[in-house]
């Protein structure tokens, strides 16, 4: 065969293969375009479903926060979500233009119906709240009807996303299969053509087709395994490979965004779980120390990037004392006057930030660190302060966590106020209102408790001499002053050696654990002399001095604890019968011996 014939045959075959290759590439390009559209449609359906679910939940959250707190910003946020709902309705109309399946169209109609029902409930609740009916508003937003509509909306959105995902995934798979098939055909014909023009066509195939497809195959494989760490290189070409590369970049970006949102949701749920655990433990606290320990233990778990202090106001509301701390904060003093904090002055959270956009609290230093002071309030009364500061080297956290910080502060304030109220009620139940001494109930409990022990216990029964005559002469107000004066002297004298009780009327009881009768008698004499040597005055009027009679008894040497009060009272009667202003021990009654008798 002549060379020219072979050349002509080669030319003809090359032309034919070129034509066929061109047709194959055209069909492959169309398949790639169909694949791109399928990807876009899939992403559009998926994004719409996600936005509908998130929008409904966020709008409901804003409505609930508004009827709970009454803050205008939640109402504005709710109305902002309402505008987003209108955009979602426009997006749903656009989706209908994409010719969804009958099941998807039905699901969209159900989504709209549930969304409209939720809107009616929420708008009605807000209107009721603005009309002053807060109970009705909260019942509507937290009631079973709202919960049922919201659950039905979320379930319908999920079903719509599943239907849309199944259909678009099938379309995407079919488009990809056609694209792959035509790509293989094109490569085969190009391979045959390359045998004739190896030098040029091999270079074109290598640089323009094979290498990009190989690279994208590895990228697509890793993305299919949800390995979004793979880098997708930028390809400036405007052919079908460039479009596939762009589609892969979009797919990777959406995957990364979904992973980020999932991580945020998990972190947010973890934060809510920790807050709930802390609230449960705050409600079970029985002392400020327990409350401070709970806060110091859970605050670092909820906000690992924020150090802080827990302060409590004193009874006069003039200064704050530190009761709890976590993660070693450096920029606030341990105690300060209440006027030194802008949050306590304003009754609202106050940020001292890096940009110096607001005044800095006087109890803070001049650091550039962002710091937040949140007043702890309950029923309109301020009981303390919760302080947070961002740790050096960590990402800013205060602004993004402000809602949770204020929620925690609100619950800590309620728990702290409840503890203070409980302490006040306990004092009212255990202490005498006039003198502040422990009452008769506490005395009985102390004696019962000592009755189960085998240790020495001395008892002093004390009576103010001629108290009725004192009341008749100077008035009951002056008598109350005398009672308070005698009570304070006894408390100061006893200190930590025992306890002082008001037995009743003008009689008092002192229990001194570990003292013998002789030591207790000596102490009683010292106490009697101290009371009787200090003059009294009331409203500028000299009242003179008062004297007391004291009976002393001991257990178990002098008898059982069960009869301790009776024996001490008998000694007191003996002291009063002997002329008052004297001390008598129970052991000396039977022998007719009086101890420490001083003429009145």
Q: Which are the catalytic amino acids?
A: 506
CB 189 within 8 A of CB 21: yes
Helix (H) or strand (E) holding 500: strand 499-504
CB 552 within 8 A of CB 584: yes
Q: How far is CA 332 from CA 223, 335, 534, in A?
A: 49, 9, 47
Q: Coil, strand or helix: which one is 172?
A: helix
The neighbouring-strand residues paired with 513 are 457
Q: How far is CA 153 from CA 54, 107, 326, 454, in A?
A: 11, 10, 43, 72
How many angstroms separate the CA atoms of 422 and 416, rounded? 10
Helix (H) or strand (E) holding 372: strand 371-378
Ranges of beta strands (E only) in 213-360 are 306-313, 319-326, 335-337, 350-352
Q: Coil, strand or helix: which one is 596?
A: coil
CB 271 within 8 A of CB 355: no
CB 575 within 8 A of CB 549: yes
How many angstroms separate the CA atoms of 288 and 311, rounded? 11
- Tell me how long the chain is: 600
The 8-class DSSP code of residue 313 comes to E
Q: How far is CA 169 from CA 52, 151, 175, 176, 401, in A?
A: 21, 26, 10, 10, 39
How many angstroms separate the CA atoms of 489 and 292, rounded? 35
Helix (H) or strand (E) holding 403: helix 402-430
Pick from 359, 376, 381: nearest CA to 412: 376
The owner of tokens 């609230």 is 279
CB 446 within 8 A of CB 430: no
Q: Return the structure tokens found at 242.
A: 């460039």
The number of CA neighbours under 13 Å toward the Cβ of 282 is 23
- Residue 503: burial class (beta carbons within 10 Å; 0-12, 13-18, 19+): buried
How many angstroms separate the CA atoms of 52 and 84, rounded? 9
Concatenating the DSSP letter of every residue in 45-72 gives HHHHHHHHHHHHHHHHHHHHHHHHH--H
Pick from 518, 546, 517: nearest CA to 530: 546
479 preceded by cis ω (within 30°)?
no
Ranges of beta strands (E only) in 160-282 are none
């Amino acid at each position: 065969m002549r060379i020219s014939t072979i050349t002509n045959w080669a030319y003809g075959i090359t032309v034919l293969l070129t034509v066929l290759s061109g047709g194959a590439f055209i069909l492959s390009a169309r398949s790639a375009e169909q694949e791109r559209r399928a990807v876009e449609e899939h992403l559009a359906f998926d994004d719409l479903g996600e936005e509908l679910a998130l929008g409904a939940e966020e709008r409901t959250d804003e409505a609930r926060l508004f009827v709970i707190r009454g803050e205008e910003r939640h109402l504005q946020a709710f109305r902002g979500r309402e505008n987003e709902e209108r955009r979602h309705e426009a997006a749903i109309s656009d989706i209908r233009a994409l010719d969804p399946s009958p099941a998807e169209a039905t699901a969209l109609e159900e989504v709209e119906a549930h969304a409209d029902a939720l809107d009616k409930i929420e708008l009605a609740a807000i209107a009721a709240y603005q009309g002053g009916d807060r109970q009705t508003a909260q019942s509507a937003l937290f009631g079973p009807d709202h919960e049922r509509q919201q659950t039905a909306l979320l379930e319908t959105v999920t079903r719509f996303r599943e239907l849309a995902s199944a259909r678009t995934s099938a379309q995407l798979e079919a488009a990809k299969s056609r694209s792959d098939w035509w790509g293989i055909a094109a490569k085969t014909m190009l391979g045959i053509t390359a045998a004739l023009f190896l030098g040029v066509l091999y270079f074109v195939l290598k640089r323009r087709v094979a290498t990009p497809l190989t690279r994208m195959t590895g990228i697509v494989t890793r993305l299919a395994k949800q390995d979004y760490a793979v880098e997708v290189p930028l390809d400036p070409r405007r052919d079908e490979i460039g479009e596939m590369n762009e589609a892969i970049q979009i797919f990777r970006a959406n995957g990364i965004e979904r992973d980020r949102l999932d991580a945020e949701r998990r972190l947010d749920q973890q934060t809510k779980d920790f807050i709930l655990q802390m609230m449960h433990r705050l409600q079970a606290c029985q002392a400020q120390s327990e409350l401070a320990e709970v806060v110091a233990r859970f605050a670092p778990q909820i906000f690992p990037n924020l150090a802080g202090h827990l302060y409590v106001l004193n009874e006069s509301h003039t200064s704050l004392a530190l009761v709890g701390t976590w993660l070693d904060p450096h920029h606030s003093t341990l105690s300060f006057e209440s006027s030194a904090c802008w949050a306590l002055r304003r009754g609202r959270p106050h940020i001292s930030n890096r940009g110096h956009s607001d005044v800095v609290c006087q109890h803070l230093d001049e650091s550039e660190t962002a710091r937040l002071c949140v007043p702890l309030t309950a029923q309109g009364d301020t009981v303390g302060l919760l302080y947070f500061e961002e740790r050096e080297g960590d990402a800013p956290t205060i602004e993004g966590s402000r809602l949770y910080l204020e929620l925690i502060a609100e619950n800590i304030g309620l728990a702290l106020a409840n503890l203070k109220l409980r302490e006040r009620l306990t004092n009212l139940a255990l202490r005498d209102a006039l003198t502040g001494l422990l009452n008769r109930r506490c005395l009985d409990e102390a004696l019962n408790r000592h009755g189960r022990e085998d240790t020495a216990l001395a008892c002093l029964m004390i009576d103010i001499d001629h108290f009725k005559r004192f009341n008749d002469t100077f008035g009951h107000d002056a008598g109350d002053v005398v009672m308070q004066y005698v009570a304070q002297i006894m408390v100061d004298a006893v200190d930590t050696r025992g306890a002082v009780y008001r037995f009743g009327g003008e009689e008092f009881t002192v229990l001194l654990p570990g003292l013998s009768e002789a030591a207790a008698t000596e102490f009683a004499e010292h106490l009697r002399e101290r009371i009787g040597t200090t003059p009294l005055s009331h409203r500028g009027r000299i009242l003179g001095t008062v004297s007391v009679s004291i009976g002393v008894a001991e257990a178990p040497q002098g008898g059982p604890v069960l009869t301790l009060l009776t024996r001490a009272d008998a000694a007191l009667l003996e002291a009063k019968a002997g002329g008052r202003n004297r001390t008598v021990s129970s052991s000396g009654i039977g022998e007719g011996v009086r101890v420490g008798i001083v003429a009145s």
